Chains A and B, each alone.
Chain A
Amino acid sequence: MNRRSPEPFLWMLFSSGGMVAALMVPILLFLFGIAIPLDLWSPSHDHLLAVLRNPLTRLVLFGLCALALFHWAHRFRYTLYDGLQLKRYAVPIVVLCYGGAVVGSVIAAGLLLTV
């Protein structure tokens, strides 16, 4: 085999992404996707902007976005390979999944840097 295989690194990104997603996504999704839209709470814009301007918040959010996207990329790739038996299209699937994660991470970095 080749020791230069990218699999160990992709798997590392996948599992770190799985861990941060499990730890952080439920509460963020509950607050911003369900509770705030349904007016259970209404934090002020000023307050949210202040929290978001903190460099630590941005760093954490960037890490969360990038790793969670690589988590998706890896899992979704294998779901397409196995679940739908599409392994013959491995090249476009790899480009779509990991390429999507890279593009998403760049967008996330851009948005978080320009807050």
Chain B
Amino acid sequence: MATETTLEITLEVARYRPGVDTEPTLQSYQVPLREHWAILDGLTYVKDHLDGTLSFRWSCRMGICGSCGMTVNGEPQLSCATFLTDYAPGPIRVEPLRNFPVVRDLVVDIDDFMTKLPKVTPWLVREVQSPVEDGEYLQTPEELDEYQQYSMCINCMLCYSACPVYSLEPDFLGPAAIALAQRYNLDSRDEGADERRDVLSSPEGIWACTFVGECSAVCPKGVDPAGAIQRYKLTAATESIKELLMPRSRSRR
């Protein structure tokens, strides 16, 4: 496709070499501007043909693994789902995800999220597991509807990158973890809501959120973490008031 390769676009990529650089610097690369190329394809072209030292994370290239989140022209994006042509004539600034420590170039340290996620028990909790012979736990379409959108989360952390509260308060549990807690809380098969409550309604949980709403705006999968947090605030506040009025009614689990 000789005609296509004549068109090019500039990628300004943040480079950071640990132990050498004190802060990232932008390096420009000319990459072919092809119609079906995502930012990730541009970066792969750089690594294959222009500069093998460029480091970035990716896996599935189809918006499901959540590995390739980056800051594109200041916005958190999945680099596999963001196309070069949408930014033509460029240049396109590609930086690592904000609010995470940068390990190298476009690679960030995601340990903080990985330690927070299991704290909300993001799996189905049953007090008594019914025996396999009893069959599946049945669920109506309406019950599925309650939590389905939250189950679309791919842990890409774009929401953390967009959240100013998380940047100011690194202890904040954060959008995805709380949305995933709600994904199980709202599941008719789950009985773990009480177990999750301590973590969720701690000062580092829902109460730190000020409903900026950018987590939901940047989510590539249409999850609404901001809404999940507000809904849980209402639940937690109602429960606290109930407990204050009727201190004995709380179940002793």
CB neighbours of A78 from chain B (8 A): 210
Mostly, the B contact residues are helix
Contact of A89 with B by CB under 8 A: no
Contact of B145 with A by CB under 8 A: no
Contact of A8 with B by CB under 8 A: yes
Interface size band for B: 20 to 34
Chain A: minimal CB distance from B57 (Å): 30
CB neighbours of A82 from chain B (8 A): 164-165, 168, 210
CB neighbours of B205 from chain A (8 A): 1
Instruction: Please tell me if the beta carbons of B164 and A9 are within 8 angstroms of each other in the complex.
Output: no
Contact of A12 with B by CB under 8 A: yes
Contact of A45 with B by CB under 8 A: no
Instruction: Please tell me if the beta carbons of A8 and B237 are within 8 angstroms of each other in the complex.
Output: yes
Please, what's the 1-or-0 string for A67-86, where 1 marks a CB less than 8 Å from any CB in chain B?
00000000000100110010
Cα distance A12–B210 in the bound complex, in angstroms:
14
Please, what's the 1-or-0 string for A9-25, where 1 marks a CB less than 8 Å from any CB in chain B?
10110010000000000
Contact of B190 with A by CB under 8 A: no
Cα distance A12–B201 in the bound complex, in angstroms:
14
CB neighbours of A5 from chain B (8 A): 201-203, 207
- Complex: chain A residue closest to B200, CB-CB: A1
CB neighbours of A1 from chain B (8 A): 198-199, 201-203, 205
Chain A: minimal CB distance from B116 (Å): 15
Contact of A3 with B by CB under 8 A: yes
Instruction: Please tell me if the beta carbons of A8 and B202 are within 8 angstroms of each other in the complex.
Output: no
Chain B: minimal CB distance from A37 (Å): 34
Instruction: Please tell me if the beta carbons of A11 and B207 are within 8 angstroms of each other in the complex.
Output: yes
Cα distance A8–B205 in the bound complex, in angstroms:
12
Contact of A7 with B by CB under 8 A: yes
CB-based closest 3 A-B pairs: A1-B202, A8-B240, A8-B237
List residues of A whose CB falls within 8 A of some B CB.
1, 3, 5, 7-9, 11-12, 15, 78, 81-82, 85, 87
Can you identify 29 A-B contacts, CB atoms within 8 angstroms? A1-B198, A1-B199, A1-B201, A1-B202, A1-B203, A1-B205, A3-B240, A5-B201, A5-B202, A5-B203, A7-B201, A8-B207, A8-B233, A8-B236, A8-B237, A8-B239, A9-B240, A9-B244, A11-B233, A11-B237, A12-B237, A12-B241, A78-B210, A81-B168, A82-B164, A82-B165, A82-B210, A85-B168, A87-B168
